[in-house]
């Protein structure tokens, strides 16, 4: 299994334009919340568990375990966001079918619009998951790490990533023109 640095470096290679990263700060959380909403149905009471079990629980628990294996502090922060997604998803899923599906699909669609605007208009490069599906799991972690880097968190990790793929930039020309 690749390390946190390797995973973030591979993902970062597809995300060097700051404007693209900014679209990801909006799009990725929307998509993740949408998954929490859409996968909160069906839900089943299981024994004495204090919550109902749904496909959302399976996804978010599996993702959190993966994040914890990569890095405990980041995994714990992602667990907090996952708990929010599960609670919000369960709340919306308890509403009418129309409210549930409109909220879930709306968030999902708008989130992907932000993603593709970032890649088409700014990065001029396909999304990372096109070449490696694990990019779908690393995207949320990347957004969290980028936010934390902005506060000076783990400068050695940021430097290791930038040593491989270069610093972020505002690049008005296609990335391929600079190679």
- CA 124, 175, 7, 20 dihedral sign is negative
Domain map of the chain by residue range?
Answer: 4-43+54-168
Residue 179 has pLDDT above 50, yes or no: no
What pTM, to 2 d.p., does this model score?
0.88
Q: What confidence score (pLDDT) does residue 79 get?
A: 97
**DSSP tag of 176:** G
Residue 16 has pLDDT above 50, yes or no: yes
pLDDT in tens, 23-35: 999 999 999 999 9
Environment class of 62 (CB within 10 Å of its CB; exposed 0-12, middle 13-18, buried 19+): exposed
pLDDT in tens, 117-131: 999 888 888 888 888
Residue 57 has pLDDT above 80, yes or no: yes
pLDDT in tens, 76-120: 999 999 999 999 999 999 999 999 999 999 999 999 999 999 998
């Amino acid at each position: 299994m690749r390390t946190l640095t390797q995973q973030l470096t591979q993902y970062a290679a597809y995300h060097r334009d700051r404007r693209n990263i900014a679209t990801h700060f909006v799009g990725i959380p929307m998509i993740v919340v949408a998954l929490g909403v859409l996968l909160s149905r069906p839900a089943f009471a299981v024994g004495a568990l204090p919550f109902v079990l749904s496909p959302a629980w399976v996804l978010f628990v599996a993702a959190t375990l993966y994040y914890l294996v990569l890095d405990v502090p980041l995994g714990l922060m992602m667990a907090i966001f996952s708990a929010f997604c599960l609670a919000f998803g369960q709340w919306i899923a308890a509403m009418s079918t129309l409210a549930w599906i409109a909220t879930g699909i709306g968030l999902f669609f708008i989130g992907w619009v932000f993603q593709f605007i970032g890649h088409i208009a700014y990065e001029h490069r396909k999304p990372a998951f096109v070449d490696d599906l694990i990019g779908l799991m690393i995207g949320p972690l990347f957004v969290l790490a980028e936010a934390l880097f902005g506060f000076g968190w783990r400068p050695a990790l940021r430097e290791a990533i930038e040593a491989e793929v270069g610093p972020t930039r505002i690049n008005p020309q296609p990335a391929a023109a600079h190679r």
